[in-house]
């Protein structure tokens, strides 16, 4: 049966798979060969409130647990929710448990115990112990309206307001601990921003990747009334998944909570301890999201694939390589529009704010060279449609043209041209695929 949530999820995945841009959503990456590696993210902290039933501050108790296990985490922190009053507390166990109009962390009326601004020492400690920080929004206000389940929730009124909210936390963290954040996760994963924008547009303004997750570590749901059972409920799904397939979490991102659940209780640190023991028993290394990405960048292109070094080199040089869902789709035919976006030289800013309106990049990059060549040959009409497939001879000749105009020495020029011809010869009889385009662009722009 398909509920509205399932349909929405499918629709969202479809949209991401159509969207090409510099902001990648990282839910999981291709398994790291020969190892078992996983990342864990902790949302909504820091939290100086007690790790009930114990008295110690919750974030410290998570840090202690991670240290004992030799694990590193990614803390998806907020700035402060204390400015979001007047507000009323909703019912425990429901979506408004920590405030009707706005979220209050760590809980309603206790905002001073949470947030980076109120607990800077906890943030410094997180960084000092080798963990990563991610931007979960200064105020944890939703980026835009959401009918279900947050119809009564306030939200940020515009694209500029979202960027300002993110920048406030980015600036604070930079001045507090000299760390420039590179990841963001929208509060409640609400992507929509008024005015036709979305979270990807905002993250582009900050230079972030979108931090997703692929496995729910629990600890956020309402309590069952039995604390031990709440902890069990966090551990069992992990145990079951790994006993079915010990490799199933290799490359995954586990969602976790640095705060209370919807009943203001704290099973998270207790569940975490058990989960880390299970992961260790299966030989998993727990690393930060950035460390994981150094081992495996893409969702559908494993590090031991022959194409991987070329794709990674382009990515590192600032080129767009994937769709928004972080998939390369190497065997898919490439369209003119995609080639256009993927060949924009690194460092060229996109004037348009919206991912769907990146056509302004068409006066740059390989596309320009191709269309000029075609115009000269009187074949320009073939490139009038952005969704059209790319012709192999055209892309190859355009690459050779670009190489001739690069400021590189003659020897390097000849080497790159030979590489382009070799790559072109290696391609099959099909139309130009995205994988082939990556080979050609890497050979042209980077000589690899
Ligand atoms: Zn959150």
d(CA 187, ligand 1 centre) in Å = 5
pLDDT at 21: 81
The 10s digit of each residue's pLDDT in 232-277 is: 999 999 999 999 999 999 999 999 999 999 999 999 999 999 999 9
Distance 99 CA to ligand 1 centre (A): 13
Q: Beta 197-198 vs 192-193: how paired, if at all?
A: antiparallel
Task: Name the token pair of 135.
Answer: 């931007």
Task: Give the distance (Å) from ligand 1 centre to CA of residue 421.
Answer: 50
Q: What percent of the chain has pLDDT over 90?
A: 71
CA of 216 to the centre of ligand 1 (A): 14
Q: How far is the CA of 344 from the centre of ligand 1 (A)?
A: 35
> How close is the Cα of 163 to the center of ligand 1, in Å?
17
Q: Is the pTM of the predicted complex or chain greater than 0.85? A: yes
Residue 361's pLDDT is 39
Q: What is the DSSP letter of 225?
A: S
Crossing angle of helices 434-441/410-426, nearest 10°? Answer: 170
Centroid of ligand 1 to alpha carbon of 42 (angstroms): 9
Q: How far is the CA of 67 from the centre of ligand 1 (A)?
A: 24
Eight-class DSSP state of 303:
T
What is the distance in A from the centroid of ligand 1 to the CA of 109?
17
Q: How far is the C-alpha of 78 from the C-alpha of 43, rounded, in Å?
A: 8
146-to-103, 142, 194, 229 alpha-carbon distances in Å: 14, 8, 11, 32
Token code pair at residue 403: 């190489």
- C-alpha 170 to ligand 1 mean position (Å): 16
CA of 186 to the centre of ligand 1 (A): 7
Distance between CA atoms of 435 and 441, rounded to whole angstroms?
Answer: 10
Ligand 1 centroid to Cα of residue 44, in Å, is 5
Q: In order of start, what are the domains of the chain with their CATH numbers?
A: 31-292 (3.20.20.370), 304-446 (no CATH)
Cβ distance 143 to 190 under 8 Å? Answer: yes
- Whether residue 395 contacts residue 432, with contact meaning beta carbons closer than 8 Å, is answered with yes
How many Å lie between the centroid of ligand 1 and the Cα of residue 420? 47
Q: How far is the CA of 440 from the centre of ligand 1 (A)?
A: 42
Closest to 206 measured CA to CA, from 158, 159, 170: 170
Given a cut of 70, is residue 99 above it in pLDDT?
Answer: yes
58 vs 221: CA distance, rounded Å: 17
CA of 142 to the centre of ligand 1 (A): 9
More confident residue, 409 or 377: 409
Distance from the alpha carbon of residue 360 to the mean position of ligand 1, in angstroms: 35
How far CA 237 is from CA of 21, 79, 263, 271, in Å, comes to 34, 32, 21, 11
* Residue reference for tokens 């990146």: 358
Measured between alpha carbons, how far is 227 from 222 in angstroms, rounded to an integer?
11
Length of the chain: 448
User: If you measure from the C-alpha of residue 140 to the centroid of ligand 1, how many angstroms do you get, rounded to a whole number?
Assistant: 7
404 or 199, which is more confident: 199
355 falls in which pLDDT band (50, 70, 90)? very low
Query: What is each CA distance from 194 to 157, 166, 387, in whole angstroms?
Result: 7, 16, 28
Q: How far away, in angstroms, is 33 Cα from ligand 1 center?
A: 32
Q: Please, what is the average pLDDT of the chain?
A: 89
Name 42's bridge partners: 75, 256
How large is the average pLDDT for residues 343-353? 53
Q: How far is CA 150 from CA 100, 107, 186, 245, 264, in A?
A: 9, 17, 14, 36, 19
CA distance 361 to 368: 9
- For the segment 356-400, what is each residue's pLDDT rounded down to a tens digit? 334 443 344 565 666 566 566 655 444 455 567 778 888 888 889
- Is the pLDDT score of 352 beyond 50? no
Q: What residues does the ion ligand 1 have nearby, CB within 5 Å?
A: 43-44, 187
The DSSP result for 76-125, as a single string, is EE----TT--S-----TTSTTTT-SSS--SSSTT-GGGBSTTT-HHHHHH
Q: 10 Å Cβ neighbour count for 211?
A: 26
Mean pLDDT across the stretch 149-175? 94
What spacing in Å lies between the alpha carbon of 218 and ligand 1's midpoint? 13
Residue 415 reports pLDDT greater than 90:
yes
């Amino acid at each position: 049966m398909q509920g509205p949530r399932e349909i929405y999820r499918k629709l969202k995945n479809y949209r991401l798979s159509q969207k090409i841009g510099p902001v990648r959503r990282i839910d999981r990456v291709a398994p790291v060969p020969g190892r078992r590696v996983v990342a864990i993210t902790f949302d909504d902290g820091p939290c100086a409130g007690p790790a009930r039933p114990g008295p110690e501050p919750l974030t410290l108790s998570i840090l202690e647990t991670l240290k004992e296990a030799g694990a590193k985490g990614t803390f998806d922190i907020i700035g402060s929710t204390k400015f979001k009053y007047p507000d009323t507390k909703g019912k425990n166990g429901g979506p408004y448990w920590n405030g009707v109009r706005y979220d209050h962390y760590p809980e309603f009326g206790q905002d001073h115990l949470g947030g980076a601004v109120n607990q800077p020492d906890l943030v410094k400690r997180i960084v000092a112990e080798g963990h990563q920080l991610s931007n979960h929004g200064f105020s944890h206000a939703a980026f835009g309206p959401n009918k279900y389940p947050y119809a009564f929730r306030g939200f940020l009124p515009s694209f500029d307001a979202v960027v300002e909210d993110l920048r406030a936390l980015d600036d604070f963290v930079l001045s507090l601990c000299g760390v420039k954040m590179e990841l963001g996760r929208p509060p409640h994963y609400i992507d929509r921003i008024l005015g036709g924008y979305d979270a990807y547009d905002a993250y582009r303004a900050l230079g972030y990747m979108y931090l997703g997750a692929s496995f729910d570590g629990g600890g956020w749901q309402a309590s069952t009334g039995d604390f031990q059972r709440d902890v069990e409920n966090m551990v069992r799904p992990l145990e079951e998944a790994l006993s079915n397939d010990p490799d199933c979490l290799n490359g995954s991102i586990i969602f976790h909570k640095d705060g209370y659940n919807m009943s203001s209780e704290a099973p998270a640190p207790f569940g975490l301890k058990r989960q880390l023991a299970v992961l260790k028993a299966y030989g998993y290394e727990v690393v930060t999201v950035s460390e994981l990405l150094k081992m495996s960048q893409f969702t559908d292109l494993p590090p031991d694939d022959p194409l991987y070094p070329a794709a990674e080199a382009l990515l590192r040089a600032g080129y767009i390589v994937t769709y928004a869902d972080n998939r390369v789709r190497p065997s898919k035919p490439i369209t003119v529009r995609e080639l256009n976006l993927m060949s924009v030289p690194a460092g060229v800013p996109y004037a348009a704010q919206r991912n769907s309106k990146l056509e302004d990049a068409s006066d740059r990059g390989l596309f320009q060279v191709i269309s000029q060549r075609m115009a000269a040959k009187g074949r320009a009409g073939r490139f009038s449609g952005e969704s059209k497939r790319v012709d192999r001879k055209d892309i190859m000749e355009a690459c050779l043209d670009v190489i001739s105009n690069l400021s590189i020495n003659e020897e390097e020029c000849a080497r790159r041209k030979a590489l382009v011809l070799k790559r072109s010869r290696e391609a099959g009889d099909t139309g130009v695929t995205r994988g082939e385009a990556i080979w050609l662009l890497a050979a042209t722009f980077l000589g690899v």
